[in-house]
Amino acid sequence: YSHYIDVGRLEMICGPMFSGKSEELIRRLKRTILAGMPTIIFTPKIDNRYLENHICSHDGKQLEAVPISHIEEVLEHVTDETKVIGIDEVQFLDGEIVSVIMKLVNEGKRVICAGLDKDFKAESFGQMPELLALADDVTKLTAICMKCGRPANFTQRLIGGQPASYNDPLILIGASESYEARCRLCYKIDK
């Protein structure tokens, strides 16, 4: 046991909106930073919920992050010294997410990703299923259902306060759109 070497590792944090994915990611990354491990954090550029160069949880906790749109940009920032890589909202990134992340893991890095496992249609999100399968550790979080208080695994999309339909366009101009955490009983979608 004397020659401890860095073994790469992929940790996934998933669940619906408001389940505390960013909070959990921030908690883990604060610890690696405190331990003095070279850590770098990325956030998709399209997530302009709050400040662009930070990752934020819905309750206001935040850490400095590099905004990117393609996963390949991670490789421009990571060096040999980097030990820990955090990625928030990983499902929103373009590019070969799985191969870039696994390359980093195979180089001995600890990669921690947070992201939605399901979209508003309750279908698996992009490359998330493969990341979840390849991960060394998966944390699946629940929120609180905003209708009944049960544990919520679903993200309800609302347009003008009403449940969105399956075929509603992803980007709606001029409509008031919002998202809510819901349980399986309270989640609704018209097909």
Annotated catalytic residues are 89
181 touches ligand ADP (CB under 6 A): yes
Contact 113, 137 (CB under 8 A): no
Contact 180, 171 (CB under 8 A): no
| Sheet of strand 110-116, all strands in order from the earlier edge strand to the far edge | 66-68, 39-44, 84-87, 110-116, 9-15, 137-140
User: Toward ligand ADP, which CB reaches closer, 74 or 141?
Assistant: 141
Q: Considering only residues 68-127, where is the footprint of ligand ADP by CB under 6 A?
A: none
The CA R_g of the chain, rounded to the nearest whole Å, is 17
In the complex, the smallest distance separating the C-beta of residue 116 from ligand ADP, rounded to whole angstroms, is: 8
Tokens of 89: 């909202």
- 10, 11, 12, 22: which one binds ligand ADP (CB under 6 A): 22
Q: Going residue by residue from 122 to 161, which x/- string records binding to ligand ADP, judged by CB under 6 A?
A: ---------------------xx-x---------------
Q: Which stretch binds ligand ADP (CB under 6 A): 11-19, 40-48, 77-85, 171-179?
A: 11-19
What does the binding site for Zn ion look like in residue numbers (CB under 5 A)?
A: 145, 147-148, 150, 183, 186
